[in-house]
Amino acid sequence: MNHTKSEEIYNEALEHIVGGVNSPSRSYKAVGGGAPVVMERGKGAYFYDVDGNRYIDYLAAYGPIITGFGHPHIAQAISHAAETGVLFGTPTQHEVNFAKMLKEAIPSLDKVRFTNSGTEAVMTTVRVARAYTGRTKIIKFAGCYHGHFDQVLVAAGSGPATLGSPDSAGVPVAVATEVITVPFNNKEEFQLAMEKWGDEIAAILIEPIVGNFGMVMPNPGFLEYVHDIAKEKGAITIHDEVITAFRFHYGAAQDLLGLKPDLTAMGKIIGGGLPIGAYGGKKEIMDTVAPLGPAYQAGTMAGNPASMLAGIACLEVLKQPGIYEELDRLGGILENGLLEAAKKHGVTITINRIKGALSVYFTNEKVENYEQAEKSDGEMFGRFFKLMLEKGINLAPSKYEAWFLTTEHKEEDIIETIAAAEYAFSQLALN
Ligand code: PMP
């Protein structure tokens, strides 16, 4: 496969854009380096790079593109916004329509607010929880990603009762010491942290189904336990559903799990591919937000008509009967095919799959927490990633990212993907 133009554009990008990319995960640093493929256009489950190569895509732009590229219903909504005004700085009917749609799908939302990104949405839920409780500390789980604001770029301390330290240059130590990080799916460590800090905890920040060290389900009873202790100690539960909302069914992961968090943050899918975030939850907590209450959050672009209309159109597509069943069916074929292909060539992998989202770990252990996910062989994944790319399969360039199916993937795409994987595994088995 020829990547000459991609390389040229990337080299030019390096001169003008930091690291050549506008988000670090787009670089191929985690898969052994090299010029990332530069994309030109996408249609359905495929995209085409600047050298004219076609790929079956499983990146889905890190999640939002669940209906594939250029979906006609979403394209029409975006054109309508382009023609009738993309931004007014006033309220619109679209915001109300979309808020009502989200509330109907996710019962824990009494009120919502739209933002421009998942980061903004999660960041605001943390502020609101602090404003509401008058406390400052938060607990989060190791390996979960919640955006790039200060409080969530914090590394775990040496144990559950230890405060965090900055995980990025520029994050003040004073901020990091407000954050405690505990392992996912570990009741004991969570309990220890709550015993020590419980009365100071404003919020527990949770990816109810983890999407950031691959796809990881909560063990039975784990999140119920977290919710119970949080309630007992007067801490707010925040579900970060930026990846999970509308991923597995028409609604949020919390509904599948039978949980009702105090606040929820969303993003990705709900924008139909345009920039978006949203947060919402219990009325009495949401009413802490300006202009009703003292917690400030704002945005020039927040709730803009283009994102609202694209989001509404995307949810309209997802509401059609059979959509999630088909994602699940194709996901199952892909999972089985990958497992068989790996076995045939003696390559050890573990797959976690939840409907149309799955992750492939190069380890023989089950993966229920970040420590186990870390054991996936990164060098092996890097080689697998590049072999798949050469065969026209685009994955995320990181061993931690999930593969996402879209409503546009067909069974023949899955078969082609499994054949490519079989080739990749055969190559990995050679050395
Ligand atoms: N929360 C979760 C669970 C995410 O996966 C992400 C992005 N990958 C974010 C928050 C941040 O969203 P954004 O990139 O839109 O700021």
| Coil vs helix vs strand at 181 | strand
Q: Torsion angle, CA of 70/76/77/81, rounded to 10 degrees?
A: 110
- Check whether residue 202 and residue 60 sit in a common domain: no
> In this structure, what are the phi and psi dihedrals at residue 356, rounded to the nearest 5 degrees?
-90, 20
In the reported structure, the alpha carbon of residue 247 is separated from the centroid of ligand 1 by a whole-number distance in angstroms of 14
Cα 262–264–267 angle (5° rounding)?
Answer: 175
Q: Please tell me the predicted confidence (pLDDT) of residue 69.
A: 98
Task: Judge contact between 220 and 187, C-beta under 8 A.
Answer: no
Q: Which of 283, 299, 318 is the last residue of a domain?
A: 318
Domain count, the chain: 2
Task: Judge contact between 45 and 413, C-beta under 8 A.
Answer: yes
- Check whether residue 78 and residue 66 sit in a common domain: no
In the reported structure, the alpha carbon of residue 18 is separated from the centroid of ligand 1 by a whole-number distance in angstroms of 20
Q: Please tell me the predicted confidence (pLDDT) of residue 158.
A: 82
CATH number at residue 382: 3.90.1150.10
Which tokens is 365 given? 């252990």
Q: Please tell me the predicted confidence (pLDDT) of residue 410.
A: 98
Which DSSP string do the residues of 312-377 spell out, in sequence order?
HHHHHHHTSTTHHHHHHHHHHHHHHHHHHHHHHTT---EEEEETTEEEEESSSS--SSHHHHHTS-
Q: How remote is the C-alpha of 232 from its chain's centroid?
A: 29
- Please state the ipTM of this predicted complex: 0.99
- Check whether residue 334 and residue 415 sit in a common domain: yes
- Check whether residue 187 and residue 271 sit in a common domain: yes
Q: How far is CA 233 from CA 135, 160, 222, 228, in A?
A: 12, 17, 17, 9
In tens digits, what is the pLDDT along the chain, a chain of 431 residues? 999 999 999 999 999 999 999 999 999 999 999 999 999 999 999 999 999 999 999 999 999 999 999 999 999 999 999 999 999 999 999 999 999 999 999 999 999 999 999 999 999 999 999 999 999 999 999 999 999 999 999 988 888 888 889 999 999 999 999 999 999 999 999 999 999 999 999 999 999 999 999 999 999 999 999 999 999 999 999 999 999 999 999 999 999 999 999 999 999 999 999 999 999 999 999 999 999 999 999 999 999 999 999 999 999 999 999 999 999 999 999 999 999 999 999 999 999 999 999 999 999 999 999 999 999 999 999 999 999 999 999 999 999 999 999 999 999 999 999 999 999 999 999 97
- Check whether residue 284 and residue 384 sit in a common domain: no
Q: Which of 299, 318, 337 is the last residue of a domain?
A: 318
Q: Please tell me the predicted confidence (pLDDT) of residue 372.
A: 97
- Check whether residue 245 and residue 275 sit in a common domain: yes
Which DSSP string do the residues of 224-283 spell out, in sequence order?
HHHHHHHHHHTPEEEEE-TTTTTTSSSS-HHHHHT---SEEEEEGGGGTTSS-EEEEE-H
- Check whether residue 148 and residue 293 sit in a common domain: yes
Q: Please tell me the predicted confidence (pLDDT) of residue 157.
A: 83
- Check whether residue 113 and residue 155 sit in a common domain: yes
Q: Which of 295, 318, 341 is the last residue of a domain?
A: 318
- Check whether residue 259 and residue 396 sit in a common domain: no
- Check whether residue 225 and residue 348 sit in a common domain: no
User: Which pTM value belongs to this model?
Assistant: 0.98
Pocket of ligand 1, beta carbon within 6 A: 62, 117-119, 122, 145-147, 207, 211-212, 240, 242-243, 267
Q: How remote is the C-alpha of 334 from its chain's centroid?
A: 20
Nearest to 48 by CA among 406, 394, 356: 394
Q: Please tell me the predicted confidence (pLDDT) of residue 55.
A: 98
Q: Please tell me the predicted confidence (pLDDT) of residue 156.
A: 85
Residue nearest (by alpha carbon) to ligand 1 atom 12? 118
CATH number at residue 126: 3.40.640.10
Q: Which domain holds residue 301?
A: 72-318
Task: Judge contact between 391 and 2, C-beta under 8 A.
Answer: no
CA distance 114 to 375: 37
Which amino acids are annotated catalytic? 145, 240, 268
- Check whether residue 292 and residue 368 sit in a common domain: no
- Check whether residue 161 and residue 12 sit in a common domain: no
Residue nearest (by alpha carbon) to ligand 1 atom 5? 243
